[in-house]
Structure 1
């Protein structure tokens, strides 16, 4: 059992991860500013200590780290599109915030940190499949901020003898995502509202989609492995899916195979192709996705049908 501080624990991934950590016997304290997350997303509010604070509030983060064995740092400004529109805010949250989380962990004597990074946005327009040896060339402020975060993770691991693991997430699908602004949520909401699905670009851009439970199992594995110094892993599906294909899957699982799909101008900062291998995570963490994109989309659609409109 570890006493874990989970930043961003009331968000999409955090609210899926928290019960999994608890089921593994870990004690979970959550730090979230509730700007987008909600305590209502948690499976059992009484099971968690929730600290409402911003990761840029250094004194609050130091206090939250007190008595913890590990930090899982999920809190972030998570949108490529928003980072292009507001690069200063993206930098403040993702770079300064990550530094303050690492520094607070150091000051509190926490030796184990898991950092939520990203695959496609960090690597940029490299020829897929990419892996941990691919040269990062981010094309958005969001991707650059995650690369900077990994840099600080590596520096803290080496300078202070900490165990820091950066996990490069694929695009995540699953329950508790109604508030998200990604393609899956947008496509499903369009179907539910009777609006055309809108694709930015010609639909040929590709992504790597991973079901949230598979992702969370990878996070737990990274936490429990407690590998020495700095390590980085891709948590991915290994499958390349075009945005057009994603929209067509959304229509099929939504029971509307002929639902209209329209195209708009491509948005800046978004990569053309992206998917990653997870060989290293499989070898060192025992990670492997178990839910196909079709099943992941069907489960997400079923969850969304249960939510109040």
Structure 2
């Protein structure tokens, strides 16, 4: 298959590309489209050798290897060119933070809603048959969990609204143009290659390893559903290849509700076991605007229709993640 992966230099993108290459390096050819605002060339280089080509005339995706096209999803012309020859588009590029969406809702709209529209237009004009959209539980807003696909959406922050717009356009492009769109509502994703991320797992591990205090927003009783990248990337690959799922949306999480306090206790214990860190300080700060109180997903539709179930427990996944941080830290120390 020929893959166009937007945001492919980022955390989820690099994990997906590594999985694709491990699955069948000769059978998959990959074009990464990224503006390098979060992940960079060095992140991609750690998992694959690649050729960088111009966004002005990249041509069709080649039959083998990995390409990088530097461009922004807000650029409609560049996205059209980048999609040439693709069998599937996996649209991961996004403004991914609730606080940023509150601070700058216009940018959030342009990066997420307009960016998704541009990629769907690219799929339509370049005859790309499958489109996998990275959404989240944010479109649902405040609700009584578990979250499922039939719930009415009432987003609480601009981020959730922009992701809801993306889901709506995916549904419309399936209904109007026959593109096999699949929206995946990711839980809170964690795993290796996330050292630069501001998500709670990556931030807490990073701060603890730097000897800094872990800051919990509010009372820490807010809940989330944490999913490891190994489970998530398997869901993306199924969404890109399973027949007869066009127009569908799926909750991709673990069907487990974990408070931030419980997560923090787990991380602190694992850091002591795996990295020898003890006496990690934890404090509480003011609640964060736009955050929902409770959030976890009913994944039964994904299990039945997508034939996907999560395999890693939170404890197992956190241990793998801490080990990856420790290995990276040791490698960086050796290179000094």
Shared fold (TM-score, shorter chain, > 0.5): yes
Deviation at 1:32, TM superposition (A): 0.6
User: Where do 1:165-184 residues align within 5 Å?
Assistant: 165-184=182-201
Deviation at 1:258, TM superposition (A): 4.2
User: Could you tell me which residue of structure 2 aligns to residue 299 of structure 1?
Assistant: 320
d(CA) in 1 for partners of 2:324, 2:225: 21
1:142 matched to 2:159? The reply is: yes
User: Could you tell me which residue of structure 2 aligns to residue 34 of structure 1?
Assistant: 36
User: Could you tell me which residue of structure 1 aligns to residue 3 of structure 2?
Assistant: 4
d(CA) in 2 for partners of 1:257, 1:300: 18
The correspondence for 2:282, drawn from 261, 267, 276, is: 261
Asked whether the equivalents of residues 158 and 229 of structure 1 are also in contact (C-alpha less than 8 Å), the reply is no
> SS of the counterpart of 1:4?
strand
Structure 1 stretches of at least 4 aligned residues deviating more than 3 Å after TM superposition:
none
Q: Which has the higher contact order (CA 8 A, sep 6+)?
A: 1
> SS of the counterpart of 1:306?
helix
Greater displacement, 228-237 / 10-19: 228-237
User: Where do 1:233-248 residues align within 5 Å?
Assistant: 233-248=250-265
1:232 matched to 2:249? The reply is: yes
> SS of the counterpart of 1:154?
helix
Deviation at 1:19, TM superposition (A): 2.2
After superposition, the C-alpha distances for 1:67-115 in whole angstroms (9 at most, x for unaligned) are 1111110000001111111111100100111100000110111121000
Asked whether the equivalents of residues 8 and 74 of structure 1 are also in contact (C-alpha less than 8 Å), the reply is yes
d(CA) in 1 for partners of 2:303, 2:323: 29
After superposition, the C-alpha distances for 1:170-224 in whole angstroms (9 at most, x for unaligned) are 0001011011111112211221122221000100000000000100000000101
1:93 matched to 2:95? The reply is: no
After superposition, the C-alpha distances for 1:226-272 in whole angstroms (9 at most, x for unaligned) are 43541000111111000011111110111046422110000111110
TM-score of the superposed pair, with normalisation by structure 2 = 0.89
User: Where do 1:1-309 residues align within 5 Å?
Assistant: 2-22=1-21, 23-24=23-24, 25-42=27-44, 43-46=47-50, 47-119=65-137, 121-255=138-272, 256=277, 258-307=279-328, 308=332
User: Could you tell me which residue of structure 1 aligns to residue 57 of structure 2?
Assistant: none
d(CA) in 2 for partners of 1:282, 1:257: 39
The number of residues matched between the two structures is 307
d(CA) in 2 for partners of 1:290, 1:230: 26
Asked whether the equivalents of residues 248 and 257 of structure 1 are also in contact (C-alpha less than 8 Å), the reply is no
TM-score of the superposed pair, with normalisation by structure 1 = 0.96
Asked whether the equivalents of residues 153 and 166 of structure 1 are also in contact (C-alpha less than 8 Å), the reply is yes
- CA-atom RMSD in angstroms: 1.3
Deviation at 1:137, TM superposition (A): 1.1
> SS of the counterpart of 1:270?
coil
Larger radius of gyration: 2
> SS of the counterpart of 1:122?
coil
Asked whether the equivalents of residues 39 and 45 of structure 1 are also in contact (C-alpha less than 8 Å), the reply is no
